[in-house]
Chains A and B, each alone.
Chain A
Amino acid sequence: MKEILVVSASPHITSKHKTSTAMRVVIAALLPALAYATYLFGLRVLFVTLVSVAAAVGCEALMQRMLGRKITVTDGSAILTGLLLAFNLPPGVPWWLPAAGSAFAIIFAKQLFGGLGYNFINPALAGRAFLMASWPSLMTKEWLAPVGGTLSGIDGVTAATPLSLLKNPANYGDPQLLIRQLSDFETVRNVFFGKIGGCIGETSALLLLIGGLFLIFLKIIDYRIVIGYLGSFALLAWLLPTQGSVLFHLFAGGLFLGAFFMATDWVTSPVTRKGRWIFGIGCGVITIIIRVWGGYPEGVSYSILLMNVFTPFIDKLTKERVFGELPKKGVKK
């Protein structure tokens, strides 16, 4: 035989599940929410999203070129970062804001740390934190009212999103009445279906839930993080002196977006099973602490960023039990 045979280590087959396909599936799972946001707030949403994605992809290619790395924008990770960043912006922001956020996310949070797989915090959330620190007014004021609804989900209150209304009810009317109204079936329904104002991607809890369950079903995201996050959050929302009902807290703000799509980011969450529970629960605890006692109405993004920082320690402290280690009592000798 003249041809040379290929010699490689086993295994000689691999599953079809690839990084780039997973990225594409996550993007697909986010598209219904994007389509719905476009319907709610107008074509402007698509424009903001496109700028964000384009800036992310452009910066990724540019940085990879400058750093002499292989250009891998087709893997979909930069597209996903751009998309998630746009999802975290109010729909009325000026066009350059998403561009600035994406550039920070890709250049500083991702590529300077080594690119895909080496970033220690979620790039999209880092971009959002950067924008919150730099242009707080743009990030908290440029809301748009949804088609056929109000910003707050309550008739007559048009100047605040549900969570900011909950934080400072006295600014908008009778606090007792408003808080009661927020927990009404009517309002909770609006919040669940997304007939409220908010960031581009966070409004419809329902569509995010469908997309997220789809990803759990495909085992692309880990159920432990999601259940740990939502479960601990719901439990504390019920136990702690929160204003508003548990269901309102679950569906309002960016909780579903965060729990299903941002906390579950592979790179920045623990790899151990126990670690993923701890990570999810930590996110839930920090989120509720910020919502109840913090200065911001919403705590999802900072809770995830904080837990991202703990991820290496969590992995170290929750090593998996090696087969045959400390065998259980009663094992026959």
Chain B
Amino acid sequence: MFSKFSGGVHPPEQKNTESCAIEVMPAPEKVYIPFSQHTGKPAKPLVDKGDEVKIGTKIGELDGFISASVHASVSGKVLNIVDHPHPVIGTSLCCVVESNNNDDWVSDLKAGQDIGGMTEKQLLDAVKEAGIVGLGGAAFPTHVKLAPPKGKKIDTLIINGCECEPMLTADHRLMLEYATAIIEGARIFQKILHASSLVFGIEDNKKDAVELFGREGIGVVRLKTKYPQGAEKQLIKAILKREVPRGGLPMDVGCVVHNVGTCYAALMAAKFRKPLIDRILTVAGDGVKEMKNILVRIGTPVSDVIEYCGGYVETPKKIIFGGPMMGIAQYSDNVPVIKGTSGILVWQDARVVEEGPCVRCASCVDTCPMGLMPTEICSFVKNKNFEMAKAYGVLDCIECGCCAYTCPAGIPLVHYFKYGKSEVWRMSK
């Protein structure tokens, strides 16, 4: 079944690592665990310099409604609580833990709980306690998405297995290797939300995953391979033909979307009391010797990850956290892997495009999946006319990058929109 949303682009998929089975990377010597790895308020530190921690020790307590706890990902000693480079927000307070190489756990992982006997409240608490956030990249605290305000009825739970970003294959591998666990995790979400239907959305470039989930007897929608198929609003439109209203949330149209990785993490949390201390990510690009899909401890510095993957080919020019369309370029390779890191791309080439004048070709208008007019918004932002930029919907931009990808003049439209958004927000304060 093919459904669709309007706009979008078809960048080369470059899924070179799709047949690389997930490898487990051993704990590094030191981890740098930021207290802010999610949308919302940073966690409050619970440990001090010199404290001994085990894997799973809660080192940061969620603070406020939209926040998430963080846990130690290695066993050893807390060396310091200090500001450290952060892949998304520049710098952030981090807990530096030196590993004693024992990999001691706080809980006994083998003692699986009977999740069937747990109440919705117990399941939700398990997810909240484990510090789970959306693992697709946005890192929104999962327990918040699982507790819609009263009056919002959720009828459909969509599990996002699109992985529409080029080069990334971590979700694909996870689906192939842990299909039953993902489905069990999804059932937990479904139970908490009282959603009557559960459906998986998977792009048709992952036919093996589509078939596998189909065989498990679960509802799967095979979606056209088109970027940004995995963007929440576009996915809902493609599967349910519902449009999330402007400025609204998926729950406004009766659904909630979770990533496959988040489902897996939720099962681990509910069944084994395992907090979110590691994640699967893709390491790819021409600047790294061995491309891999690996299970990495949260807080592992990029340099250690690259070393595990055979090292750099040459001194790299660009390191990206995430995919090539929406990923964030890093200024240093000592930033740590965080909960939302879906991939690490290492490029030998910086690929800087010179910005030319807009020739009004309208490619951006044609490809914008949000129905915006990127070229018009861009001129308003350039002229610092933020009122008009807002009127033309700069705040509706999901920063998917289709416009800048397709622009023949090489205009970095998303760059201008990020700036425009921050100015609009500043104005409204």
Contact = CB atoms under 8 A, between A and B. Distances in A.
B325 interface: yes
B166 A13 contact: yes
Interface in A172-194: none
B241 to A, nearest CB: 9
A324 B366 contact: no
Interface residues of B, number: 76
B375 A332 contact: no
A168 interface: no
Contacts of A270: 362
Nearest to A77: B359
A19 B359 contact: yes
Nearest to A222: B362
A66 interface: no
Contact of A320 (B320, B345, B350, B371): B371
Interface in A66-93: 72, 75
B319 interface: yes
Contacts of B414: 9-11
Which of A266, A272, A324: most chain B Cβ within 10 A? A324
B318 A333 contact: no
B372 A320 contact: yes
A44 interface: no
Contacts of A137: none
A118 B357 CA distance: 8
Contacts of B353: 14
B331 A13 contact: no
A332 B253 contact: yes
B373 A323 contact: no
A133 interface: no
B285 to A, nearest CB: 10
A18 interface: yes
A13 B352 contact: no
A29 to B, nearest CB: 16
A310 B233 CA distance: 35
Contacts of A17: 363, 406, 408
Given A6-B352, A320-B365, A324-B245, A13 B155 contact: no
Contacts of A19: 356, 359, 361, 408-409
A326 to B, nearest CB: 9
A12 B320 contact: yes
Interface in A29-88: 72, 75
B180 to A, nearest CB: 31
Contacts of B362: 222, 266, 270-272, 276
Interface in A106-153: 115-118
Contacts of B350: 6
A327 interface: yes
B189 interface: no
Given A5-B330, A10-B401, A324-B243, A333 B408 contact: no
Contact of A323 (B9, B318, B370, B401): B370
Interface in B217-260: 233, 237, 242-248, 252-254
Given A12-B320, A19-B409, A322 B404 contact: no
A13 B407 CA distance: 11
Nearest to A8: B329
Size class of the A contact interface (CB-based, 8 Å): 35 or more
Contacts of B363: 17
A5 B244 contact: no
Interface string A265-276: 011111111001
A240 interface: no
Interface string A231-269: 000000000000000000000000000000000001111
B333 interface: yes
B197 to A, nearest CB: 12
A319 B373 contact: yes
B414 to A, nearest CB: 5
A173 B282 CA distance: 80
Interface in B346-385: 347, 350-353, 356-363, 365-366, 368-373, 375-376
B399 interface: yes
Contact of A6 (B237, B329, B409): B329
A22 interface: yes
A298 B242 CA distance: 49
Contact of B405 (A14, A22, A332): A14
A8 B315 contact: no
Interface of A: 1-3, 5-15, 17-19, 21-22, 72, 75, 115-118, 222, 266-273, 276, 315, 319-325, 327-328, 331-333
29 contacts: A1-B315, A1-B333, A5-B318, A5-B319, A7-B331, A8-B329, A9-B414, A9-B415, A10-B329, A12-B318, A12-B325, A12-B329, A13-B12, A13-B324, A15-B406, A17-B406, A18-B408, A19-B359, A22-B408, A116-B359, A117-B358, A117-B359, A271-B362, A272-B365, A315-B376, A322-B370, A322-B372, A322-B396, A324-B396
Closest 4 pairs (CB-CB, A-B):
A11-B401, A9-B415, A117-B357, A6-B350
Given A271-B360, A322-B396, 15 more contacts: A1-B332, A3-B316, A3-B317, A10-B328, A10-B329, A11-B404, A11-B405, A12-B327, A15-B406, A115-B357, A116-B356, A272-B365, A323-B237, A324-B396, A331-B253
